[in-house]
Amino acid sequence: MSARPTTTTTTPMGVPAAALATAAPGSRGLRELGLIALFVALVACVPLVTESGSTLNFVMMALYATLIAQAWNILGGFGGQFSFGHALFFGSGAYIQAIAQLQGGINPWVALVLAVLGAALVGLFVGALSFRYGLKGSYFALVTLAFAEVFRILALSVPITGGGVGLMVPLREAASNMQFGSRAGYLWLVLAFVGAALLASWWLRNGRFGAWLQAVRDNEDAARAVGVNPFRVKLGAIALSGAFMGAAGAFYVQVFQYIDPAIAYGPSTSVEALVAAIVGGMGTVWGPVLGAVVLHVLADLTRNLFGELPGINMVIYGTVLVLIVVFLPRGIAGLGVSARRLLGGGKESSRG
């Protein structure tokens, strides 16, 4: 199911030629679209063939990990803007989801819309400040990390977030309250989010905006020279990325019915998102899916072997990340390309 990164045809100025023309999905793009539909249909059938709580919980959490990885991949993979603080958008969506219900008495489905929009607005705010002053690379990564920490401190300080105690959403089990009687309902909910994220990634791979975004990633100055507005393109990417991360935060609140500053804005969510995308393959449709599943399987195996040993997941994630960066620079999705280059003695080219 993995989508292999393809060689990009460039103009003499170093900009992908696709950025200068209206992108239309070819046969490969339509096949990817069919694979997305097949993937969603097969996963949706899982609750129909098994009632095992552990199986449904595993699939649900693997999909949740896929969602945050896809969100990071939109900005970090397709856009080349590495973020160390994507928990900023996750936490914002989570708190909006909880506060809207507890303080505003708003229906959870309406709160979900507010959470997604709110997280997207936070993305626009951070992007406007960062991209307006030309921050990129390690500078942008550190800015996102700093914003996540600022929001964590604010969440600890203001009463509306419950401070360090956090917020607990009361149990009112009903589909109209986005609280389901079994894991199947939550599985279908997060699957809908993942399906939307896969479609967004497909659009970025095959659409004009995606071509602009990848042109900015590869050579921002050359992209600007041929009429692409890097500021607006990157702003759109961070808003879209933030929206999906906000949906993940809202989902988390509905499943676990609790959120606090450490969960919302702590580094673990940011690390899980970026590692899954890098391990699976950045800038691809299926890379985050593969990376999330692999890391989730490893996390479960580690938990069975070592129990709830503090920090063990971070050790596993770090080890896997180092191995992937050294031996599979294109990630699992580019395994075939990397193997052929290794056997053929060629050098792995950088993706930028």
Q: Would residue 31 count as lying in a domain? A: no
For 337, phi then psi, to 5°, come to -65, -45
| Long-range contacts of the stretch 51-55 (C-beta < 8 A, 24+) | 51/182, 53/182, 53/183
Residue 85 domain-assigned (yes or no): yes
Q: Which of 155, 186, 145 is nearest to 264 (CA)?
A: 155
| Distance between CA atoms of residues 205 and 31, nearest Å | 13
Say if 230 falls within a structural domain.
yes
Q: Which helix (H) or strand (E) holds 259?
A: strand 258-259
Does 183 reside within a domain? yes
Nearest Cα to Cα of residue 291 among 9, 70, 142, 103: 70
Q: Are 276 and 66 a contacting pair, CB within 8 Å?
A: yes
pLDDT at 333: 85
- Domain boundaries, position 84: 53-267
List per-residue pLDDT tens for the chain, 352 residues long: 444 444 445 554 555 554 545 445 677 778 999 999 999 999 999 999 998 888 999 999 999 999 999 999 999 999 999 999 999 999 999 999 999 999 999 999 999 999 999 999 999 999 999 999 989 889 999 999 999 999 999 999 999 999 999 999 999 999 999 999 889 999 999 999 999 999 999 999 999 999 999 999 999 989 899 899 999 999 999 999 999 999 999 999 999 999 999 999 999 999 999 999 999 999 999 999 999 999 888 888 877 777 667 777 777 777 887 888 788 888 888 776 555 565 565 444 444 3
Task: Specify the number of domains making up the chain.
Answer: 1
Q: What pLDDT does residue 279 have?
A: 92
Domain-embedded: residue 30: no
What pLDDT, on a 0 to 100 scale, did the predictor assign at position 350?
41
In a domain, 296, yes or no: no
Question: Which pLDDT score is estimated for 29?
Answer: 78
102 falls within a domain: yes
Residue-level pLDDT at 348: 45
What residues does 258 pair with on adjacent strands?
Answer: 168
Category of 35 on φ-ψ map: left (φ > 0), alpha (ψ -120 to 50) or beta: alpha
Q: Does residue 8 fall inside a structural domain?
A: no
Q: How many CB atoms lie within 10 A of CB 331?
A: 28
Tell me how far apart the alpha carbons of residues 66 and 286 are, in angstroms, rounded to a whole number.
10
Alpha-helix residue ranges (DSSP H) falling in the chain = 27-44, 46-49, 53-73, 87-102, 108-132, 138-157, 183-206, 208-218, 220-225, 230-256, 261-265, 267-280, 287-306, 312-327, 335-344
- Can you read off the two tokens belonging to residue 226? 């041929």
- Distances in whole angstroms, Cα of residue 313 to Cα of each of 27, 60, 347: 40, 18, 32
